[in-house]
Chain A
Amino acid sequence: MIKKLRYHLIDDQKKFIVFVAMFGLIVFNIIFFFIPLGYGIIGSFSNWNPLQNTMEFTGIDNYIAILQSSLFKISLKNTFVFSGSLIILRTGLGLVIAAGLYSLKRHDGILRSLYFLPVIMPIVAVSMVWEWVYHPRVGLLNMLLAAFGFAGKNWLMDKTLAMPAVIVMTAWKDIGYAVVIFMAALMNIPRNLYEAASIDGANQYKCFRHITIPMLKPTIIFIVITSLISYFQSFVQIFVMTEGGPGTATYVISYMIYNEAFENYRFGYASALSVILFIIILIITVIQLKVLSRGGES
């Protein structure tokens, strides 16, 4: 009798803790995720201006205007250049550095920390520091170049150099994250795979190509996909360092969204841009997942 009652009580308590946790979570997600998401999608089909307090349905006008806009085409191209280069740099260099650090006899904590340090630095401060690194007159980079006898450049004011400069800065900041994750994944590869391979006469390159890379595949996919999602939305470094300039040399979609929404107050237009960005990210993620996960089977 008492036992039964106790089970009943436990059952009620279980229901209670589940209810408390999940009810809050669901209410939170409805208010701060699903309503804004729906609101944004509906808004993208409207002439939505918060200053005039208007939100009238205009069908796909915003989308048509965006697709006809030359600034959008430039931004799209720049976004692809930015994200594409960074995904390759972060994954490639991250893997090479991780493999290098891992192969050292003594796993050097200090060395790994040096690579990881930029990851934890706030992006606003880092962007400002790099603005000075690239400063044409008193910047660190030109100072180093001068020490080796090279002429300095006005990195962030040059149309062809500004984008690479922002990419290099972002790579500097983000590579450490990939290094740490790849190192963790490398440690999870069973040692005896390499031993077996070396008995069979495989050299280091062959081991890397045929054991390390396939074993790291899930990690590579993880880095590529998470990088893709974050780089397509990178904003702060552009906002602080170049404001999309010079001209439109570093104008990316995230900056265009910010500018249309909070400088021009075209909320509808900017929402349509963000919906397009979301769809692009979604499509590329699916394609990448398919391509990357197929590569290993062949």
Chain B
Amino acid sequence: MKIDKIGAIILKVCLVIGGLIMFLPFFWLMLSTFKTSREITSVPTTFFPRGWTIENYVDIFKSFNIARYFLNSVFLATVKTAIGIYTSLLCGYVLAKFEFKGKKIIFSMILFTMMVPYLIMVIPLYQMINTVNLIDSYWAIILPTLYSSFGIFMMKQYMTSGIPNELIDAARIDGAREFTIFLKIAVPLSVNMISALSIFLFLWNWEDFLWPYLVLNTKDKMPLAVALNMFSGQNTVNYGGLFAAAAVTILPVLIIYLFFQKRFVEGVSMSGIK
């Protein structure tokens, strides 16, 4: 009995220490954004800022134009997420609630696309985008993600049991049109799934790096993740600015996560249960 109790305390202590280690690099980053570049690079190093300053944040707005990249990322991630959610809902609903020829093949196709590594598509897609002259255009970034296999799969799994057939049939008897049933019944009943998937898609779009890095040339069009990498390539001295820019890249998704934490964790959990 006593050993059990001591064991439980040791376990808890270990878990708390582990959790703090997980948090430490981010905490250190945030503290460092409030140090001057000189303090960051001076030895001996400090953990807490000696004198707090917001100079780094002011600096990246003025000299790095971070607001521009930030808005680019907000625009791209929002548009891509909205489209992805809509197509996932529609295809998921149709695959969950209708019987038609070729349904099984289409569903297998979705599973197959999830298993093929994206690296194999990058080169030919780049060549195709180049051929149709879409290099350096946002179309090149938006078009390849109009549909999300992952999203369709999750929506289909959820809607099969999450939306009662009786409800759909009752609406049909009342004379509702199929698209109305989809918009007025299926979509509202999937709100939890929609918020989970939105966060997923938004995150992926926000952190998307390789593809925008390859297809965009104009500096002013770059999303934050790509601009951040460019900024770090140009700067070997302005550590304070780099720290602040990294923080600005991380914070929005962190804030979104903290707001939707519960639903997001539910969504992650659901993605693992097949």
Contacts and interface: CB of A to CB of B under 8 A. Distances in A.
A181 B268 contact: yes
A39 interface: yes
A25 B147 contact: yes
Interface of A: 6, 10, 13-14, 16-18, 20-22, 24-26, 28-29, 32-33, 35-37, 39-40, 43, 50, 97, 100-101, 103-104, 109, 111-118, 120-126, 128-130, 132-133, 137-138, 140, 143, 146, 172, 175-177, 180-181, 183-185, 188, 218-219, 222-223, 229, 232-233, 235-236, 240, 254, 257-258, 261-262, 267, 270-271, 274-275, 277-278, 281-282, 285
B47 A129 contact: no
Interface of B: 8, 11-12, 14-16, 18-20, 22-26, 28-29, 32, 40-45, 47, 87, 90-91, 93-94, 98, 100, 102, 106, 109, 113, 115-128, 130, 143-144, 146-147, 152, 172, 175, 177-179, 182, 203, 206-207, 209-210, 214, 224-226, 228-229, 232, 239, 242-243, 246, 249-250, 253-254, 257, 261, 265, 268-274
B175 A6 contact: yes
Where chain B touches its partner, the secondary structure class is helix
B25 A13 contact: no
B113 A17 contact: no
A296 to B, nearest CB: 17
A17 B246 contact: no
A188 B100 contact: no
Contacts of B272: 181, 184-185, 219, 222-223
Contacts of B207: 122-124
26 contacts: A13-B177, A21-B90, A21-B91, A24-B146, A29-B147, A32-B146, A33-B121, A39-B127, A115-B19, A116-B265, A117-B257, A120-B254, A125-B250, A133-B25, A137-B43, A138-B41, A138-B42, A146-B44, A172-B22, A183-B269, A184-B273, A240-B232, A257-B119, A261-B122, A270-B123, A282-B115
B106 A232 contact: no
Given A36-B128, A133-B25, A124 B113 contact: no
